[in-house]
Amino acid sequence: MTAVHKEMSVNHLPVLTWHRLGVNSAALSVPMPGESRALADDRLQRGITKEICDGDPEKLLADLAGPIRREAVIAGKQAAFQAQEFAGGLGPDFDSFMSAAEVPLTIYRVPAGSKCEAPSFLMRDLSCGADLAERQLIYAEAGSESTWILADFSGKADQGLCAVSTRVFLEAGAKVRLYKVGLLGSGFLQLDDTGALLSDDASFDFVRLLLGGKAIYTGCLAALNGSGSDFYGETAFLGAGSQHVDINDVAVQRGRRTRSKMLVKGVLRDRAEKIYRGTIDFRRGSAGSAGDEQEDILLLNDDVINRSVPIVLCEEEDVDGRHGATIGNLAPEVLFYLTSRGISPEEARKMLVRARLMGTASGIPDAEIRARISDYIMEAF
Amino acid sequence: MSEKLLEVRNLSAGIEEGEILHGIDLEIRPGETHVLMGPNGAGKSTLGNTLMGNPAYQVTGGSVYFAGQDITKAPANERACLGMFMSFQNPLEVPGLSLESFIRSAIRQQTGKPIRLMQYQRKLEETMALLQMDPSYAQRDLNLGFSGGEKKKAEILQMLMLSPKLAILDETDSGLDVDAVRTVSAGIEAYHRQTDGALLIITHSTRILEALKVDRVHILVKGQLAASGGSELVEEINRSGFEAYLKEDAQA
Amino acid sequence: MSEQRISGEQGRSLYDFIDVGTDAYRMTEGLTEEIVTRISEEKHDPEWMRTFRLEALRIYEQMRMPDWGPSIEGLDVGRIAAYVRPKTDMKDSWDQVPEEIRTAFDRLGIPKAEHEFLAGVGAQYDSELVYHNVRESVASQGVVYTDMESALTGEYAEMVRDHFMKLVPVTDHKFAALHGAVWSGGSFVYVPKGVHVDIPLQSYFRLNARGAGQFEHTLIIVDEGADLHFIEGCSAPKWNVANLHAGCVELFVRKGARLRYSTVENWSRNMYNLNTKRALVEENARMEWVSGSFGSHVSYLYPTTILKGAGADCEYTGITFAGQGQNLDTGARMVHLGEDTSSMITTKSISRGGGISTFRSAVEIRKSAARARATVDCSSLMLDDISRSDTVPEMDVRTGDANVGHEAKIGRISDEAVFYLMSRGVSEAEARAMIVSGFADSVSKELPLEYAAEMNNLIHLEMEGRA
């Protein structure tokens, strides 16, 4: 019996460019998730509560977003897609998919003013072909601080569907650090969606490690609505074999004096294919804001495909936006530096590749997860 | 007469855009301290980098022997394994790779043996103390966000940990304040004391030489050795600069 | 510098003069097979060209309007007279050109400039070349510089047929198809092997007729080892009816040759400028684009370079200034096919008074382009908070040993810089204009002195809001 598939289009660029480049969005066909046999292990810090939303998740999220957030048309350009109220990077089709699959929304609430230094864990073991489809809302109340580690892992050769939608709502002054780690088997289709709404002086740190899986579609949209809000995004990926990595990150800067910084570091080898879309969108009224987006990709052989679309949209004068990309091989100066200390070129290359990925992993506040990542990388290189 | 450690015979080298060094001859014996001086753009760094095997520079003529082996075409890591070392003028930053693990990997690759961790840790701590480096630098990413002075110290730290037979110090003193120069000098002395290693010090100032016993001084002008002599040459340069050599060159 | 070039005091009105009643012939508005056939007859096309036009028309009808760029809703192609021919036949002496046309060109400083430094001028007044001259010395080197119509039937007819719309096929996009159907006028240049043309060749386009489209075709072939600088200037007076410019430029740069193609474009503010420019660069050849976009209501302009031969090289330098009522979508596209090819895109864009500028680019490194290098550097300046500036680049790398770098910056004039200049006695407006000129400097210094001065004047006019 063949599973029911849903056609969808995800990871839209906020504005279109030439269709022939094939980067405006990604079309895919996703099987409706089977019964979830994934082992879920939630370890929450004291004070954080968990409940299942009993109403309509979409309505709840829309209400959180408030009335002014629907902006389908970007000045002077055709609308690329119907904007969502509480948007995620993957886009509205993914929300519809989750609704059609009747995936409930779990709300994790961090009480006002509470400071949780230690991370809360949402660990998902998808071994032996288990599918996972889940939606969660992290509701960070005013002035709270919390750290989250969401990790999806399975056996190396496992296959299945891993569809996760995470929304983060940050009230004034709230701080959320979110680490998403994908360590799935080589047959997995991973759909990973993140959307954050930031109130005044809120800060959202988002670190994402994409390792494993057959095809990964991931997107993060941070709406910096509040003045003084801050978004930091860091992504590291390793594309190997015939892996397909498709990323869409957007920082919408509406508040005054907002900050966004997005870093993407990756390594591509074999026949791996990756596309990164990164947008900084300065809206009118975002005076005093800054946005920065940097991409650094290492190509290890001739059969890889690397595509990048780093966009800056700007309708405010008093802003500072920049993006940069470096795509290529290891810098010969760095290789020489290492080899001049007696390290063989081959070993030096491995060290640099591992260093690139471990640089991101080393910030994860959990030794066990770091060790898992390190093992994966050491095995791959 | 002791054996030659480094022997450079009629070496010419340069970059894609053109030749920079024209027929250099140079000999360094074990434990000797040589100084290479010269005006900006004379080719001093080119010589250092060519000796260390930087692929950005191409040898266009002549040869280089180290410990009796022809290394003219050897890759940098082989030279390092034979006992050569170069401290970089601008050490590179490598995010994600700690200073400590970098040195450890280098020692492991050079010796081909597993490292005794306790011993290694102790030596690292002692050496960092000698160089007045904060111990936290060991776990920091290689050169990332280090100040100019810390980068230079990290280079000397690597030299002391790797104990080469010949260390080429490329402008190690440039951009350092008086205290830092003193610390770096102490590191160089320790290197001499511990291993009786040879040195080729590339510099355009003479501050770093004050505390060292210099065996031989070479003046490099426009890619050629204009003069070689004893430490008295250093004083001469201090007095009257390189002008005399530049003039001679103009007359020739 | 020629005094015919505008100076700051004269203002933009210089470009806005309208000549009355020089239309000798006007096609019925709209586009049908009959009209295209009549154009073909009027122009005494060879048979293949007539077939070509009709085929292009069929493709035009099938293709969709672009949905990714600035809105072109104000453009009703059906209402634009495709073909407007001035009353005069082509002349080879300036004195024989009708008085009002000559006055128009005189005011733009064209003949004067020609005497001073240009090797030849082809001025296109609406759809026909009214004036054409190549200096003796250049012609004697075997350089061909003629209008496209003559080229179709002349000595180089075969060469033209072999290259015409081969680089920009009519299937490329809707307006390329439109161009293929109704093209008219333009220049053909052939520089024989090894010939270095020391002084630039220039063409100057002007759209004069109300509601008229201009579809000139430029075909340049620089043969092996040859060297040419071609300058294209464009302007049109102000009219209320939407005007369309859908020209096409095809450049062939053969082995070891070099071509520089410079444009300063100052179309009037009702112009839809949907122009297609493309270059094919062969082994060890070099293509240089210098492009200044100041005018038009809407522009879609992305010169494309195909680096086909090993070691081919291209540099694109561009500036776009979008003022009130303008939506200028400009940029470049580089396609690397050959090994060791390199490309560099450097652009500046400025938005002011509600203007919208978009930098759009694509750098494609194909699998065959081993060791290719490409850099993109785009800077944008926002001069107020009612304007808009977007950057939409794309990079597609399909070989492991390529090196691609990209940098973009967007920002405003720093208050400190303004203060610094003011503290030296400069007025604020002047200080801001100076900073903007400085921002544009990397482009203006690539232009011939005449054009650099014109560009600078245009920047000052824009800054004063008088444009």
Q: What distance in Å separates residue A327's CA from the closest CA in chain C?
A: 5
Q: Specify the pLDDT at position A84.
A: 64
C360: nearest CA partner in chain A: A17
Residue A328, Cα to own-chain centre: how many angstroms? Answer: 23
pLDDT band, residue A67 (cuts 50/70/90):
low
Query: So what's the pLDDT on residue C21?
Result: 44
Contact present, B219 and B38 (Cβ < 8 Å):
yes
Residue B153 lies in a domain: yes
pLDDT in tens, A77-123: 544 445 667 889 999 899 999 999 999 999 999 999 999 889 999 99
CB contact under 8 A, B106 and A341: yes
C415 CB near a chain A CB, below 8 Å? no
- Mean pLDDT in chain A? 91
More confident site: C97 or C39 = C39
Residues of chain B with pLDDT under 70: 1-2, 247-252
Quote the pLDDT of residue B240. Answer: 81
Distance (Å) from the alpha carbon of B104 to chain A's nearest alpha carbon: 10
In this prediction, residue C209 has a pLDDT band, given cuts at 50, 70 and 90, of low
Q: Subunits touching B (CB < 8 Å, at least 3 pairs)? A: A
Instruction: Let me know if residue B1 belongs to a domain.
Output: no
Cβ distance of C405 and A325 shorter than 8 Å: yes
C74 touches chain A (CB under 8 A): no
Structure tokens at A137: 């809302």
Q: What value does the mean pLDDT of chain C take?
A: 81
Q: What is the DSSP letter of A373?
A: H
pLDDT at C64: 87
Nearest CA in chain A to C368: A302
Measured in angstroms, the CA of A315 and the nearest CA of chain C are apart by: 4
Taking alpha carbons only, the member of C152, C156, C127 closest to residue C143 is C156
Q: Write down the pLDDT at residue C91.
A: 56
Q: Does A touch B (3+ CB pairs < 8 Å)?
A: yes
Judge contact between C191 and C230, C-beta under 8 A: no
pLDDT of res. C230: 92
Residue B90 falls inside a structural domain: yes
**Residues above pLDDT 70, as percent of chain A:** 94
β-pairing, C144-147 vs B94-98, is unpaired
- Give the model's pLDDT for residue C23: 44
User: Are B91 and B159 in contact, with CB atoms under 8 Å apart?
Assistant: no
Please tell me which residue, C208 or C315, carries the higher pLDDT value.
C315
**From the CA of A361, how many Å to the nearest CA of chain B?**
9
DSSP chain B: -PPPSEEEEEEEEEETTEEEEEEEEEEE-TT-EEEEE--TTSSHHHHHHHHHT-TTSEEEEEEEEETTEE-TT--HHHHHHHTEEEE-SSPPPEEEEEHHHHHHHHHHHHH-S---HHHHHHHHHHHHHHTT--GGGGGSEETTT--HHHHHHHHHHHHHHH--SEEEEESTTTT--HHHHHHHHHHHHHHHHHH--EEEEE-SSSGGGTTS---EEEEEETTEEEEEE-THHHHHHHHHTTHHHHHHHHH-
3-class SS at C422?
helix
pLDDT of C350 over the 90 cut: yes
Who has greater pLDDT, A344 or B180?
A: A344
Evaluate whether B52 touches A333 at the Cβ level (below 8 Å): no
- Provide the number of CB pairs (under 8 Å) joining chain A to chain C: 157
Contact B77 A352 (CB under 8 A): no
Q: What is the CATH number of the domain that holds B92?
A: 3.40.50.300
Residue of C388, C394, C397 lying closest to A21 (CB–CB): C394
Over residues A239-260, mean pLDDT: 95
Pairing of β C248-253 and β A244-253: unpaired
- Residue A270, pLDDT above cutoff 80: yes
Which comes out higher in pLDDT, residue C44 or C314? C314
Measured in degrees and rounded to the nearest 5, phi and psi for residue C192 equal -65, 165
pLDDT tens string C408-443: 999 888 877 777 777 777 778 778 888 888 888 878
Q: Which of C68, C70, C370 sits opposite A17 (nearest CB)?
A: C68
Query: Is residue C59 scored above 50 in pLDDT?
Result: yes
| Domain count along chain B | 1
Q: Is B31 left (phi over 0), alpha (psi -120 to 50) or beta?
A: left
The Cα C403–Cα C390 span in angstroms is: 25
Q: What are phi and psi of A297, to 5 degrees?
A: -120, 135
Please state the pTM of the whole predicted model. 0.85
Rounded average pLDDT over C381-388: 91
Q: Which of B76, B103, B141 sits opposite A336 (nearest CB)?
A: B76
Q: What is the pLDDT of residue C213?
A: 59
Structural tokens at position B142: 């290689």
What is the rounded average pLDDT of the residues A282-304? 94
Partner-chain contact B109 A359, CB within 8 Å: no
Domain boundaries, chain A: 5-327
ipTM of the complex: 0.92
- Beta carbons of B105 and A356 less than 8 Å apart: no
- Mean pLDDT over C451-466 rounds to 72
Selected residue of A209, A339, A344, A381 to mutate for chain B interface (largest B Cβ count, 10 A): A339
C264 has pLDDT over 80: yes
Q: Do the beta carbons of residue A313 and residue C390 sit within 8 Å?
A: yes
Who among A334, A341, A347 is closest to B158 (CB)?
A341
Looking at residue A78, what is its pLDDT?
47
* pLDDT of C158 higher than 90: yes
Confidence at residue C99, expressed as pLDDT on a 0 to 100 scale = 65
User: What residues of chain B lie within 8 A of the CB of A357, using their CB?
Assistant: 96
A312-316, A362-366, B123-127, C207-211: least confidently modelled range: C207-211
* Residue that wins the pLDDT comparison between C372 and C73: C372
Write down the pLDDT at residue A203: 98
Q: How confident is the model at residue C14 (pLDDT cuts 50, 70, 90)?
A: very low
Predicted local confidence at residue C430, as pLDDT: 78
Question: Which chains have at least 3 CB atom pairs separated by less than 8 Å from chain A?
Answer: B, C
Half-sphere exposure at residue A128, Cβ-oriented, CA atoms within 13 angstroms: 4
Q: C401–A299: do the CB atoms touch at under 8 Å? A: yes
Question: Which pLDDT score is estimated for B123?
Answer: 94
Contact by Cβ (8 Å): C204, C105: yes
Q: Across the interface, do C367 and A76 touch by the CB < 8 Å criterion?
A: no
Contact between chains at B91 and A357 (C-beta distance less than 8 A): no
